[in-house]
């Protein structure tokens, strides 16, 4: 190397220190920040579908995602009991209301660092409805919707998880319950094997392929079911705007109910019950602010008063009295029949039944239900227990069928 003197220090180019310490990184989300599909639309995604998409994006099973990430947060300090969730019985309830849904929404929100996951459940409507009649007990879907979603990625709208929704608002066909591949019915709403658009038993695709449609998807839904579904979809679409502007409360609901009933000319609980096909006691409890309506009757109430659910909750009153009974709507629930309990007097009943059996007529042939109705006819003081014939059969007589 040729000896070159470095020269005066002042002539050397200045070189300064560099800071190489890595600056602190703001907290990153543990899971991908997928955006829930369709918030503010009738086909808003359900929380179970969102979790399914998260698992698919991370290329793990739903079970892995639940065990590793979601359940430890959702359950707090309690140890995860696998037996509780392996069966999947309660997992589908996370789309509804209450502390379970709230826990899951908080957990998923923390993992994805999103604040809008609550719109994938019925939590925004927590105050105005109840658990009962909210979520369907098994999975339902529209095959054509799955076929349409295929290109953009399959997902399950929250609408399909709600019990009053019996039809697809887009294709106007009934929702399906049976897998076309394995014929399994009553699929679990959510399970560790869940995949959007696929059967959780056989993993078969539940949607339509191009040019191939299952015969069941061609039937049109009945108008009543469709109307209820459309009301429900309007309610879901209005969720973010309505609930953020004025979070509906239970008191608000009862006040609106009483005001609408008064404006519509309904004077008694019986009239209200008849209008929306519920039990008299149920209507009475509504008017006394003791129990919120189930989702189905709530929608029928709003429909009966001729308004949307958001208008109903917003304090809008019907313009004209509603006098005609509700002709549209599902049939009366069997629970609406009068049920009175009467005292059972075995000593008085036995000789009467014996005499009836001795006559050996067709009407007296002991059958499970006819025995009860026969006993009820012959001895009004008998308890109408259908198992009476089985347990109180005289010896030597033909076996009750």
> In terms of CB distance, is 21 or 359 closer to another protein?
21
Question: Binding of another protein at residue 246 (CB under 8 A)?
Answer: no
> In terms of CB distance, is 7 or 215 closer to another protein?
7
Tokens of residue 248, six digits: 């509906």
Q: To the nearest whole angstrom, how small is the minimum distance from the Cβ of residue 87 to another protein? A: 18
Stretch near another protein under the rule CB under 8 A, chosen from 6-14, 221-229, 309-317, 385-393 = 6-14
Binding to another protein in span 99-118, by CB under 8 A: 112-113
Question: Binding of another protein at residue 338 (CB under 8 A)?
Answer: no
Question: Binding of another protein at residue 341 (CB under 8 A)?
Answer: no
| Measured CA distances, 332 to 291, 335, 356 (Å) | 20, 8, 34
Cβ contact 94:104 at 8 Å:
yes
Question: Binding of another protein at residue 15 (CB under 8 A)?
Answer: yes
Question: Binding of another protein at residue 211 (CB under 8 A)?
Answer: no
Question: Binding of another protein at residue 212 (CB under 8 A)?
Answer: no
Q: Classify residue 176 by its DSSP letter.
A: B
Long-range Cβ pairs for the range 206-210 (8 Å, 24+): 206/141, 206/143, 206/146, 206/176, 206/179, 206/180, 207/141, 207/143, 207/144, 207/145, 207/146, 207/147, 207/149, 207/150, 207/154, 208/143, 208/144, 208/146, 208/147, 209/147, 210/147
State the Cα–Cα distance between residues 385 and 211, nearest whole angstrom.
54
Question: Binding of another protein at residue 207 (CB under 8 A)?
Answer: yes
> In terms of CB distance, is 150 or 383 closer to another protein?
150
Q: To the nearest whole angstrom, how small is the minimum distance from the Cβ of residue 16 to another protein? A: 6
Question: Binding of another protein at residue 290 (CB under 8 A)?
Answer: no
Question: Binding of another protein at residue 150 (CB under 8 A)?
Answer: yes
Question: Binding of another protein at residue 152 (CB under 8 A)?
Answer: no
Shortest CA distance to 249 belongs to which of 397, 400, 126, 391? 126
Q: How many residues bind another protein (CB under 8 A)?
A: 55
Cβ contact 304:293 at 8 Å:
no
State the Cα–Cα distance between residues 167 and 173, nearest whole angstrom.
5
State the Cα–Cα distance between residues 14 and 95, nearest whole angstrom.
65
Question: Binding of another protein at residue 242 (CB under 8 A)?
Answer: no
> In terms of CB distance, is 59 or 341 closer to another protein?
59
Question: Binding of another protein at residue 29 (CB under 8 A)?
Answer: yes
Cβ–Cβ contacts within 10 Å for residue 338, how many?
A: 6
Question: Binding of another protein at residue 33 (CB under 8 A)?
Answer: yes
State the Cα–Cα distance between residues 137 and 177, nearest whole angstrom.
11
Q: Which residue has the tokens 């929704």?
A: 165
Q: Which of 12, 212, 331, 343 binds another protein (CB under 8 A)?
A: 12
**End-to-end Cα separation, the chain, in angstroms:** 114
Q: To the nearest whole angstrom, how small is the minimum distance from the Cβ of residue 23 to another protein? A: 5
Question: Binding of another protein at residue 183 (CB under 8 A)?
Answer: no
Note the residues at the interface with another protein (CB under 8 A): 1-4, 6-7, 9-23, 25-30, 32-34, 55-61, 64-65, 68-69, 112-113, 150, 154, 181, 195, 197-198, 202-205, 207, 209
């Amino acid at each position: 190397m040729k000896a070159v003197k470095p020269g005066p220090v002042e002539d050397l180019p200045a070189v300064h220190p560099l800071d190489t310490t890595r600056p602190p990184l703001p907290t990153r989300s543990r899971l991908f920040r997928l955006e829930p599909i369709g918030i503010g639309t009738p086909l808003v995604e359900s929380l179970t579908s969102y979790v399914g998409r998260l698992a698919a994006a991370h290329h793990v099973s739903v079970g892995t995602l639940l065990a590793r990430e979601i359940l430890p947060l959702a359950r707090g300090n309690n140890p995860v009991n696998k037996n509780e969730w392996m069966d999947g019985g309660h997992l589908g309830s996370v789309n509804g209301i209450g502390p379970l849904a709230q826990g899951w929404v908080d957990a998923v929100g923390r993992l994805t660092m999103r604040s809008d996951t609550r719109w994938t459940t019925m939590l925004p409507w927590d105050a105005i409805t109840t658990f009962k009649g909210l979520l369907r007990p098994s999975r339902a879907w529209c095959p054509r919707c799955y076929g349409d979603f295929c290109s953009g990625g399959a997902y399950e709208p929250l609408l399909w998880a709600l019990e009053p929704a019996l039809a697809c608002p887009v294709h106007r066909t009934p929702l399906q319950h049976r897998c076309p591949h394995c014929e399994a019915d009553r699929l679990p709403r959510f399970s560790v094997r869940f995949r959007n658009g696929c059967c959780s038993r056989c993993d078969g695709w539940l949607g339509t392929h191009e040019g191939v449609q299952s015969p069941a998807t061609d039937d049109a839904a009945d108008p009543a079911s469709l109307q209820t579904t459309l009301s429900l979809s309007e309610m879901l679409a209005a969720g973010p705007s309505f609930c953020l502007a004025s979070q509906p409360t239970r008191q608000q609901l009862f006040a609106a109910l009483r005001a609408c009933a008064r404006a519509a000319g309904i004077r008694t609980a019986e009239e209200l019950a008849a209008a929306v096909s519920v039990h008299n006691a149920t209507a009475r409890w509504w008017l006394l602010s003791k129990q919120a309506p189930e989702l189905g009757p709530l929608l029928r109430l709003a429909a009966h008063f001729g308004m949307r659910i958001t208008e109903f909750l917003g304090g809008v009153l019907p313009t004209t009295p509603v006098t005609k009974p509700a002709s549209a709507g599902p049939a009366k629930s069997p629970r609406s029949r009068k049920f009175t309990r009467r005292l059972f007097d075995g000593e008085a009943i036995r000789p009467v039944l014996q005499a009836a059996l001795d006559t050996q007529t067709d009407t007296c042939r002991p059958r499970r239900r006819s025995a009860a109705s026969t006993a009820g006819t012959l001895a009004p003081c008998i308890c109408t227990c259908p198992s009476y014939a089985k347990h109180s059969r005289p010896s030597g007589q033909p076996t009750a069928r």
